[in-house]
Amino acid sequence: MESGNILEAINLSKSYPGVQALDSVNFLLKRGEVHAIVGQNGAGKSTFIEILAGSIQPDSGSIIIDGQDYVRLDPSQSIERSIQTVHQDNQLIEELSVAENIYLYNLPQTKLGFVNISLCIRHADDLLDRLGIETRSNIKISSLTFVEKKLISIAKAFSRKAKILILDEPTASLDIEGEKILFDIIRRNAEKGLSIIYISHDLGEIFEVCDRVTVLKDGKKIAAHDVKNVEMETIVHEMIGRSSHSLYTRVLNTARIKSDEKLEIIDYSRYKVVDHVSFSVRKGEIFGIGGLVGSGRTELARIIIGLDKKDSGKLVFCGKDITPSSPYDSIKKGIGYLTENRKDDGLVVIRPIFENISMARFARDRHIPYLELKKERTTTEEIASQLQIKTPSISQLVINLSGGNQQKVVLAKWLYANSEIILFDEPTVGVDVGSKSEIYHLIDNLVQQGKIIIIISSDYLELSSVCDRVGIMRFGKLITILEGAQINEENILKNSLGVTMEDN
């Protein structure tokens, strides 16, 4: 309590072959403060907090927790010192219930040694109530939405004594409602003296909930500020070395949109999740789909490309029926789908970067049975550097990349696949501001070439700055399509929540 410092890191360094992930980083965490760590993809944020969590050992430096010195921590020490971590990737066990996942480290037992499941559920429900999370604890993780899973991961951190809570990109692809619950939890507990380390690429959030911010770049600490006394502009500049004026703003070019050549999505339905959705996208147009998580956006994409079964629906391109029956059929017909969860079905993480990038392209060019290794190398290398994938080599395994850079690999795969129609589902989750604008330029290039792009996103800024039209889904229905001046963050938000304009 004396100094008010609960944790201090001194000269922490960590290197991997060809990468200095952390370079003599100093860091100070005060009691009860919410401390943001920001930086580009691969800046070393996750590495830093994994060292605090004990899952990575530093090469040099030391960590002081509550006055006690450590050269390195292991996970049990970290937990013992009341550090709780919510990792970037979900680490829940899909086949167990919410309650079992929360108390997995110490399941309550009956006298006979069986798991006392009812006690476990009671504890878990209490905890969830206390945190304001509505999910019930007796259901299996596998039946939860992405947002619910994230909230459960956070609840799990609260199930043990926590003095320091570490959140690694907790809001990545969280929607507005999930975000509200999270910020509530953060504010209430910080007031009670909990210290929080908060990693995010969304600087707006940082100004909303954080007290201090530390900027990392290429493994080095660049600066630390009180959030009250700093401009967003300054932080962006420190992060990416240029100002945010040069960030992305799209110039609408209505001339290139050819209204006669269009993709028609006709009457797509799947019982209980997608409810008779129809719309059309013209060649050269970017169509956005907004709405809350669980509103049927992802499900719509999945039934369009034939990944899930549908009750009805027809896809017509330039008057021709091209309804695909499977992803394999889709790619044959020139339709690509970037899935929302890179770890699940986006990446083959134990294979090198270049193999991941070329995968869909190779699946598409079926008539060539052999590989053109040289050409593959140069072209994938080119797209990797366009997307600023930070790696010593494109032969690096994807598993060794930082989260945002992994996301760029999935993007690279679909940019390289050269499909005529591309559905992007949360394309820039975890990607830093600088790279985002680069990606938007690349997507814009694609539409210039006459491709058709559909973007599903929970990032309202992304929808409003990139899309020509934005459809909003709610409870499986496409409730409205915003155009031109109607497209702004506020409108997208209101419609997603079901607040109609007449109400205002």
Ligand X SMILES: Nc1ncnc2c1ncn2[C@@H]1O[C@H](COP(=O)(O)OP(=O)(O)OP(=O)(O)O)[C@@H](O)[C@H]1O
Interface stretch with Mg ion, choices 46-54, 124-132, 290-298, 389-397 (CB under 5 A):
46-54
Type of residue numbered 197: I
Least spacing, CB of residue 391 vs ligand X, in Å: 6
Contact flag: residue 393 with another protein (CB under 8 A): yes
Contact flag: residue 370 with another protein (CB under 8 A): yes
Type of residue numbered 371: L
Kindly state the helix (H) or strand (E) to which residue 188 belongs, with its residue range: helix 176-191
Least spacing, CB of residue 181 vs another protein, in Å: 29
Q: Which is nearer to ligand X, 291 or 352 (CB)?
A: 352
Q: How many CA atoms lie within 13 A of 463 on its CB side?
A: 28
Contact flag: residue 405 with ligand X (CB under 6 A): yes
For another protein, the binding residues in 397-456 under the rule CB under 8 A are 397, 399-400, 413, 417
Strand order in the sheet with 320-321: 274-283, 258-270, 312-317, 320-321
Contact flag: residue 107 with another protein (CB under 8 A): no
Is 168:87 a contact under the CB 8 Å cutoff?
A: yes
Pairing of strands 195-199, 34-38: parallel
Return the one option of ligand X, Mg ion, another protein, none that residue 310 interacts with (CB less than 5 to 8 A, by type). Answer: none
Which of 87, 156, 221, 390 binds ligand X (CB under 6 A)? It is 390
Is 389 in a helix, a strand, or coil?
A: coil
Instruction: Indicate if the alpha-carbon torsion angle 178, 179, 182, 183 is positive or negative.
Output: negative
Which of 46, 330, 406, 428 binds Mg ion (CB under 5 A)? It is 46
Quick one: 63 exposed, middle or buried, by C-beta within 10 A (0-12, 13-18, 19+)?
buried
Contact flag: residue 57 with ligand X (CB under 6 A): no
CA proximity to 66, closest of 141, 159, 163: 163
Contact flag: residue 47 with ligand X (CB under 6 A): yes
Q: Hey, what's the torsion of the CAs at 427, 433, 436, 438, to 10 degrees?
A: -170
Which residue's Cβ lies closest to ligand X?
A: 404
**Interaction mask 309-328, another protein, x per CB under 8 A:** ------------------xx
For Mg ion, the binding residues in 377-406 under the rule CB under 5 A are 402-403
∠ Cα 274 276 279 (to 5°)? 105
Contact flag: residue 403 with ligand X (CB under 6 A): yes
Least spacing, CB of residue 206 vs ligand X, in Å: 14
For Mg ion, the binding residues in 91-120 under the rule CB under 5 A are none
Is 243:234 a contact under the CB 8 Å cutoff?
A: no
Interface stretch with another protein, choices 67-75, 262-270, 360-368, 447-455 (CB under 8 A):
360-368
Quote the tokens at residue 316: 């017509």
Is 146 in a helix, a strand, or coil?
A: helix
Contact flag: residue 171 with Mg ion (CB under 5 A): no
Q: Which is nearer to ligand X, 380 or 405 (CB)?
A: 405
Contact flag: residue 41 with Mg ion (CB under 5 A): no
Q: How many CA atoms lie within 13 A of 230 on its CB side?
A: 22
Interface stretch with ligand X, choices 36-44, 225-233, 263-271, 364-372 (CB under 6 A):
36-44
Task: Write the DSSP symbol of residue 252.
Answer: P
Can you give the binding site for Mg ion, defined by CB under 5 A? 46, 402-403
Contact residues for another protein (CB under 8 A)?
A: 17-18, 307, 327-328, 330-332, 336-337, 339, 344-352, 355, 359-360, 362-364, 368-371, 373, 381, 384-385, 388-397, 399-400, 413, 417
